[in-house]
Amino acid sequence: MGFITMPKNAFNLTGQTALITGGGTGLGFGMAKCFVAAGAKVIIVGRRKEELEKSRAALGENAFAVVGDVTKLETIPGLVQKAEKLAGPISILVNNAGVHLKKSALETSDAEFANVLQTHVFGAFALSREIGRGMVARKSGSILFTASMTTLFGIPLVVAYSAAKSAYAGMVRTLAVELGSQGVRVNAIAPGWIESDMLNEALNNDPPRKAKIIGRTPMNKFGKAEDIGWAAVYLCSPAAQFVTGVILPVDGGASVGF
């Protein structure tokens, strides 16, 4: 039985152009860093121009920034055109933009619920449809959604966010089935608890919650943004050429811990 030689380009994204929504901060920026390191050109999209430009500069010459708001669905075709004019046809789309709402279900208003769905679900779908058409025409592409632990199990006080992230699971499966024969793969990552300024700020004042999270995470620590980034590189690379319709937890075992 001979050894398999790994192709040099198995995890290489040279020649690929990735668009990442919410790419200027947090997990989006972590993914952007890893995509650039893997050789891709990266277009980061966000609403705050100054922050976006600072992140673009930090990413280097293979990064581009486009100011845009995915909740304004009528602007999405123009946003895609602008991005492709800057960096070429988009071969990887990462639907990562999101808003959070921490509120009990019984106190969440219709407007608040709709606002969370508008960003996560409607924005991600409109972008997937718009960019997906180009991918299908080229018979090649990868669409990735940032799902969540709330996609997998019940977490209190985040009913709108949970509904939105659960909708991602349905979109991933349907798009994977519809587009698979046309060369387009569709997957999601479900991050566990990832270290960030926001998480640290929330948990430093809430030791019992911090202990609960660590206690249910078998690896006994928080993840880093790059942990999500390298998983994203894998799912969008030739190494995952037969992987579609998957929701990959990157969570230190939290989703299987007891």
- Which amino acids are annotated catalytic? 161
Burial classification of residue 94, based on how many CB atoms lie within 10 Å of its CB (0-12 exposed, 13-18 middle, 19 or more buried): buried
Q: Is 179 in contact with 168 (CB distance < 8 Å)? A: no
Say what angle helices 26-37 and 225-236 make with each other, to 10 degrees.
50
Q: Is 127 in contact with 76 (CB distance < 8 Å)? A: yes
Report d(CA 59, CA 170) in Å as an integer: 33
Token pair belonging to 53: 């430009």
CB atoms near residue 3 (< 10 Å): 5
Report d(CA 60, CA 36) in Å as an integer: 8
Report d(CA 80, CA 52) in Å as an integer: 17
CA 225 to chain centre: 11
Report d(CA 101, CA 27) in Å as an integer: 18
Burial classification of residue 127, based on how many CB atoms lie within 10 Å of its CB (0-12 exposed, 13-18 middle, 19 or more buried): buried
**Residue among 44, 31, 95 nearest 234 (CA):** 31
Report d(CA 21, CA 215) in Å as an integer: 32
Q: Is 247 in contact with 169 (CB distance < 8 Å)? A: yes
